Amino acid sequence: MSGRVIPAWSLTAEAASTIGIPAEWPDRVTRDWAIGGATGEGVDVCILDSGVDGDHPLVGGLESAVAVHIDGDETTIVPDELGDVCGHGTACAGIVRALAPQCRLHSIRVLGEGNTGSGELILGGLRHAIEREFDIVNLSLSTTKRSFAELLHELADSAYFQGTVLVASAHNMPVESYPWRFSSVISVGSHEGSDSYEWYANPDPPVEFFARGVDVDVAWAGGSTLRCTGNSFAAPHIVGLSALVLSKHRDLTPFQLKSVLYLTAANTGGTE
């Protein structure tokens, strides 16, 4: 953030000349401009999931790992001493690492504390991720509880305005669920291709992008690798690709990042 004080609700004539934004956009946004030579260096990516096995060779280390803990009405953030209680978080971390080898990976574990209160765990984890101002948060999860929708919506908007990109896997079931449906979030479904650099913009949202999510070889708990399918593996592909874009173009807002992903999708002619 620039630190300049700008009125939140209006712009005086004097102030207008002080808020210039360096916008060095090419005549045509291409993949080469967007991610050519990028490694994800300097980008902080958070995996909000089942924990991450940082020692897995395909994950290659974690910068931080915490767990959300609920005691009565109080939600606290504690050091994660369990690691991955399922394997899925490690899978997401491995997918991101393979695409953006130099990014910094963080884990917030929201599973393993029992099912009761799982909505509060997800909310608490997301709130912490936003407070930490991570660049990108992977959300391979959703909740059907309407009582959480409003709070999740507020958090998603807070993330959007502060420049934290939320990438959520879309729900491919006929139920209302959140947060993937929010426009301040990048929502991802699966295509059946096998290229991790192949993604599509969806002309018919609310699912906004399709990325690789079928038969993906992923890191898993216990140092293993498994072959997996599901939208929850498509989201970390867009996370990894977003980390590449942001490592080259640090000042992009979530809105601009989404536009770059759109312009460089396989079905918009921006793949060169």
Partner 1 sequence: MTDVNRYQEAVAAGMLPSEENHRALLQSIVDVARAIFGAEASSIFLLDRDTDELVFEAVSGQGEGDLVGMRIPSSTGIAGWVLVTGQPIVIDDLQQDPRFARQAAEQTGYVPKALMAVPLVNGETTLGVLQVLDRARDRAGSIGEIDLLILFANQAAIGLDLLQTARRARSVADTGDGREAVVARIAALLEQTGDEVSGLRLLEALEAVLGRLAR
Choose between 33 and 180: whose C-beta lies nearer to partner 1: 180
Which of 107, 138, 232, 242 binds partner 1 (CB under 8 A)? It is 232
Measured between its terminal Cα atoms, the distance across the chain in Å is 32
Least Å from the CB of residue 191 to partner 1: 8
* Cα dist from 206 to 35, 51, 156, 211, whole Å: 25, 28, 15, 15
Determine if 143 is a binding residue for partner 1 (CB under 8 A): yes
The neighbouring-strand residues paired with 178 are: 143
In eight-state DSSP terms, residue 170 is P
Which of 116, 203, 204, 272 binds partner 1 (CB under 8 A)? It is 116
Per-residue tokens: 84: 């991955």
The size of the interface with partner 1 (CB under 8 A), counted in residues, is 46
- Part of the chain binding partner 1 (CB under 8 A), chosen from 8-16, 55-63, 139-147, 249-257: 139-147
Which of 85, 151, 263, 266 binds partner 1 (CB under 8 A)? It is 85
Determine if 193 is a binding residue for partner 1 (CB under 8 A): no
Residues 6+ apart with CB under 8 A from 210: 188, 189, 190, 191, 199, 200, 202, 234
The type of residue at 264 is T
**Interaction with partner 1 in 16-75: which residues (CB under 8 A)?**
49-50
DSSP labels, 127-156: HHHHHTT-SEEEE---B--HHHHHHHHHHH
Tell me which residues touch partner 1 (CB under 8 A).
49-50, 85-88, 110-116, 118, 121, 140-146, 169, 171-177, 190, 192, 214-215, 220-222, 224-232
